[in-house]
A and B are shown apart, each in its own frame.
Chain A
Amino acid sequence: MATASRIYLGLVLVFLYAPIAVMAVMSFNDSQFYALPIKWSLRWYADLAGNQRLIDAGMNSILVAVITTVIAGVLGTAAAIAFFRYTFRGKRLLQGLLFPPIAIPWLITGTAMLLFFFWTGIGRGLHAMVLGHVALALPYVIIVVGARLQAFDPDLEAAARSLGANPWQVVRYVTLPFLAPGVIAAALFAFAVSFDQFVISYFLAVPGVSTLPVEIYTSIRKGFTPEINAISTIVIVASMTLLVGVSRFYRFGGDR
Chain B
Amino acid sequence: MASVSVRSVSKLFGSFRALDDVSIEFDDGGFYGLLGPSGSGKTTLLRLIAGFEYPDAGAITIGGESVERRPAEKRDVGMMFQSYALFPNMNVFANVAFGLTVRGVPSGEIRTRVGEALELVKLAGLEKRRTHELSGGQRQRVALARAIVIRPRVLLLDEPLSALDKALRTGMQIELKRIQREIGITTIFVTHDQEEALTLSDRIGVLRDGRLIQEGAPRDIYERPRTAFAATFLGDANLFEGTVEGDAIRLDDGPPVRTDDPLPAGGTRVTIAVRPERMTVSAGSPAAGGARNEIGARVDEAIFAGNSLTYMLTHGARSVRVFAQNTGAEPVAAGAPVRVSWNPADTIVVDA
Residue B83 interfacial (CB < 8 Å): yes
Bound-state Cα–Cα, A150 to B122, Å: 34
Interface pair A155/B102, CB less than 8 Å apart: no
Question: Interface size for chain A: under 10, 10 to 19, 20 to 34, or 35 or more residues?
Answer: 10 to 19
Query: Among the listed stretches A65-73, A166-174, A230-238, which one makes contact with chain B, having 4 or more residues with CB under 8 Å of it?
Result: A166-174
Residue B307 interfacial (CB < 8 Å): no
Interface pair A163/B99, CB less than 8 Å apart: yes
Bound-state Cα–Cα, A256 to B102, Å: 25
Assuming the contacts A153-B83, A174-B87, A178-B88, asked whether A162 and B98 have C-beta atoms less than 8 A apart, the reply is: no
Chain A 136-159, CB-CB to B under 8 Å as 1, else 0, gives 000000000000000001011011
| Residues on A with beta carbons closer than 8 Å to the beta carbon of B89 | 174, 177-178
CB nearest neighbor in A for B102? A165
Interface pair B150/A155, CB less than 8 Å apart: no
Q: Which of B73, B87, B88, B146 contacts A161 (CB 8 A)?
A: B73
Q: Using a Cβ cutoff of 8 Å, how many contacts connect chains A and B?
A: 69
Interface pair A159/B73, CB less than 8 Å apart: no
Q: What's the least CB distance linking A40 to chain B, in Å?
A: 49
Q: Which of A158, A173, A178, A256 contacts B72 (CB 8 A)?
A: A158
Bound-state Cα–Cα, A160 to B51, Å: 12
**B: number of interface residues (CB 8 Å):** 26
Secondary structure at the A interface, as helix, strand, loop or mixed, is helix
Interface pair A160/B52, CB less than 8 Å apart: no
Bound-state Cα–Cα, A165 to B52, Å: 13
Interface pair B150/A158, CB less than 8 Å apart: no
Bound-state Cα–Cα, A158 to B87, Å: 11
Residue A164 interfacial (CB < 8 Å): yes
Interface pair A165/B85, CB less than 8 Å apart: no
Bound-state Cα–Cα, A158 to B83, Å: 12
| Residues on A with beta carbons closer than 8 Å to the beta carbon of B81 | 155, 158-159
CB nearest neighbor in A for B81? A155
CB nearest neighbor in B for A167? B73
Bound-state Cα–Cα, A165 to B104, Å: 11
Q: What's the least CB distance linking A23 to chain B, in Å?
A: 43
CB nearest neighbor in A for B101? A173
Chain B 171-188, CB-CB to A under 8 Å as 1, else 0, gives 000000000000000000
Q: Which of A158, A163, A256 contacts B98 (CB 8 A)?
A: A163
| Residues on B with beta carbons closer than 8 Å to the beta carbon of A160 | 87, 98, 102
Bound-state Cα–Cα, A162 to B223, Å: 37
Interface pair B85/A153, CB less than 8 Å apart: yes
Interface pair B146/A158, CB less than 8 Å apart: no
Interface pair A164/B150, CB less than 8 Å apart: yes
Bound-state Cα–Cα, A158 to B78, Å: 11
Residue B103 interfacial (CB < 8 Å): yes
- Show the binding face of A for B, using Cβ within 8 Å: 153, 155-156, 158-166, 169, 173-174, 177-178, 256
Closest 10 CB pairs of A and B: A163-B99, A155-B85, A159-B85, A177-B89, A161-B72, A165-B102, A162-B79, A155-B81, A161-B73, A169-B102
